[in-house]
Amino acid sequence: MEPTIVSGKEVSNKIKEEIAIEVEKLKEKGIKTPHLAAVLVGEDGASKTYVNAKVKACEKVGFDSSLVKLEIDISEADLLAEIEKLNNNADIDGFIVQLPLPNHIDEQKVTEAIAPEKDIDGFHPVSLGKMLLDISSFLPATPYGITEILKHYNIPTEGKNCVVIGRSHIVGSPMSVLMARNSYPGNCTVTLTHSRTQNLSAITNQADILIVAIGKPEFVTADMVKKGATVIDVGIHRVEDSSKKSGYKLLGDVKFDEVAPKCAFISPVPGGVGPMTIASLLKNTLLAVKLKS
């Protein structure tokens, strides 16, 4: 059985095209251009790459974008003051604070300082509460992106067993909520597994849909996957590889080469879930403008 390799790049490009058309319509109606801002603390390479990709994506769809670069040794109080400025800046519709933050800054405090109506990452307790109650709001970007992939490929979810590996507030927990809600994609029977789960392989072998966000390279192997399953790999790891020009290769949480032949659908790393996160941020920013106008 040849699996369908799901392309986050393809889905994300389609979403960007749709957003660009909507932005043109907003401008024709005299509604302001959506404006997304990103806050980057320090010089972390992966974070810089990611933030630059967001700025590029904004240009592509006709958004305005701003980048607020701060020193790595900025105090928590000063960072919170910068967030307050963005909260009060009427021109900025939504913003993200790029994680991870330096150890001396409390990430939860920073998340809670973002005005809920500008929380396009979907991490604020108000956003998560609305998601739980199925009230229209900003969904966490990665889980939102995964639901868009499932939709694009018409992957059936109703009545299916969905197993999520990993219970982070960023991916695993919200993903389990979205897959259980009474809509498409959703209506699954969901099992949320984690580091304390016993007999994990017995549980994953029951999964029609397996969503892996555990943060361990190539953790899921072929013997853990049911034939004909849909496997979505959220992990991304840089692993040294001297045969590559860059000196490293990217791996996911799933051992792709051995798992893929068993799947109906599988997302690769890179090019799977990754591009969808930025597309979701753009969708959330557009929603922020619509909620205001």
The half-sphere exposure of 81 on its side-chain side, counting CA atoms within 13 A, is 6
What residues pair up with 226 in beta bridges, in sequence order? none
Q: Tell me which of 119, 121, 208, 233 is the catalytic residue.
A: 121
Concerning whether 54 is annotated as a catalytic residue, the answer is yes
**Residue 166 carries which side chain, given as an amino acid letter?**
G
Q: How far is 233 from 27, CA to CA, in rounded Å?
A: 37
Concerning whether 106 is annotated as a catalytic residue, the answer is no
Phi/psi of residue 161, each to 5°? -85, 120
Q: Tell me which of 16, 54, 118, 262 is the catalytic residue.
A: 54
Tokens of 90: 């009427």
Phi/psi of residue 11, each to 5°? -65, -45
Tokens of 3: 């699996």
Q: How far is 5 from 280, CA to CA, in rounded Å?
A: 20
Closest by CA to 144, choosing from 12, 32, 27, is 12
Concerning whether 98 is annotated as a catalytic residue, the answer is yes
Q: How far is 51 from 39, CA to CA, in rounded Å?
A: 9
Residue 185, preceding bond cis, omega within 30 degrees? yes
Q: How far is 220 from 217, CA to CA, in rounded Å?
A: 9
Q: By the 8 A CB rule, do 283 and 21 touch? A: no
Q: Tell me which of 98, 118, 160, 253 is the catalytic residue.
A: 98
Q: Determine the Cα angle at 85 with ends 83 and 91, to 5°.
A: 110
- What positions carry a catalytic annotation? 54, 98, 121
